[in-house]
Chain A
Amino acid sequence: MQVTMTVNGTEYTREIEGRMLLVHFLRDVLGLTGTHWGCDTSNCGVCVVWLDGEPVKSCTVLAAMAGGHEVRTVEGLANGAELDPIQEGFRQCHGLQCGFCTPGMLMTCRALLDKNPDPTEGEIREAISGQICRCTGYSSIIRSVRWAAVHEASSAQEEVSAQ
């Protein structure tokens, strides 16, 4: 069957099997290997991408289901060489060690900040509760999200002052 979807702003049309999962479509068909593929059972959360602006576990979504819809992956976070504040936060606060969970964490945390620009530690922990990190013990991930929240707030403030 043929599927057409928009991924990070670019429209792709490909011939696929109906049973192909979105994670494999992104990685194997489009070559977007930033999205990781982990437990295959919607438990670990490394495969989180956005589907129409909502984080979903792409190992449990058919590629065909994304047809006609918009997908955003970790490759779509940075603006050229300029990192998204959530990426910069993970860099500044050591939000990763091995990096396997990071793409999924980044997508979930970006969605959280878009809905709630000033999340508490509890709200961050709840937001990432469907994702597993075996390196950080989560504390540095929480600091990373807070870093992004604080820096987004202050740059928004600067923009207001500049006007």
Chain B
Amino acid sequence: MQVPAPFEYERATSVDQAIGLLERLGSSARLVAGGHSLLPMMKLRLANFEYLIDINDLHAELGYIRLSDDEVRIGAMTRHRELLESDVLAGVFPIFADAEKVIADPIVRNRGTLGGSLCQADPSEDLSAVCTTLDASCVIRGPGGSERVVTMEEFHVGPYETAVADNEILTEIRIPRKSFKVGSAYAKVERRAGDWAVVSAGAAVWLDQGRIVDARVGLAAVGPNTTGIPEISAALRGHEPDESLFELAGAIAARSCDPATDTRGSADYKRHLADELTRRTLRKAVERARS
């Protein structure tokens, strides 16, 4: 039987009350949302905490998808299922639904949250790649109502390590919207349905009069952090999208990533996937931006 080591269970009633608890308990405490990453790690005793602070009651406060002209704001407690089923999100950034369809399974998606996924900071985590692709920023709240906003690059300190301090909570993800036609897509190669990625890629393309104003690619499972590749953006800007451009982007992706040979595949195979998935998602993103 796998059970976590003993801990004290606390339940948060508001964001600020949770921060108060974190301030008092320090690094001996951890927040738990959906729990589908943290509890398995605690069962394996890879993670041990004296206190768990259950923030599921904060769904009313932090579970939302809000669209305005210049950005999309998503609350950290928004569950996978809500991201998958959101028509608003599918309308502006279909990359979310693409990714959610291949994250775990429908039952796990009933519990898991956006904030929990990002804070887990697993190098293979799909929503981190989505947020990197979309140039999202993370809103982190701390003591006394203080708030800071960091980029995805700043957010990911290393594998399983984020910029969120012991007395802080990730509350919201903000995704900028630009006044151009936008298309986005996500693709993942996995060994079994619902598994972690062997490699996955996200792409977003912004078009103005047929030319690429901006393009971004985010890769997962090919290095210590989810990786955005600025060189691809630079290579694509100003051009009309076509196959040769996608090929170039794929080649840059393959040589810019740092995959490890493991049970999921060899480093060479993963580079090949980074290339191929970059092409596929860019192609799809352009197709969507044009339609």
Contacts and interface: CB of A to CB of B under 8 A. Distances in A.
Interface string B1-26: 11111111101000000000000000
A78 interface: no
Nearest to B10: A18
Interface residues of B, number: 29
A116 B71 CA distance: 33
A126 B107 CA distance: 10
Contacts of A48: 107
A67 B9 CA distance: 11
A56 B9 contact: no
Interface in A102-128: 108, 126-127
Contacts of B194: 129-130
B108 A62 contact: no
A78 B1 CA distance: 30
A20 B52 CA distance: 13
Given A18-B7, A64-B54, A40 B2 contact: yes
B180 to A, nearest CB: 34
Interface string B51-64: 01010100000000
Contact of B3 (A21, A67, A108, A130): A21
Interface string B104-123: 11111011000000000000
B255 interface: no
A36 interface: no
Given A108-B107, A127-B106, A19 B36 contact: no
A1 interface: yes
A17 interface: yes
A8 B54 CA distance: 24
Interface of B: 1-9, 11, 32, 35-36, 39-40, 42-43, 52, 54, 56, 104-108, 110-111, 193-194
List the 6 shortest-distance A-B pairs measured between CB atoms, nearest first: A130-B105, A18-B9, A64-B9, A130-B107, A40-B2, A19-B4
27 contacts: A18-B6, A18-B7, A18-B52, A19-B6, A19-B7, A20-B3, A21-B3, A24-B3, A40-B2, A42-B36, A42-B40, A42-B104, A45-B107, A56-B110, A57-B108, A60-B40, A60-B108, A60-B111, A61-B35, A61-B39, A64-B11, A65-B35, A127-B106, A129-B193, A130-B105, A131-B105, A131-B107
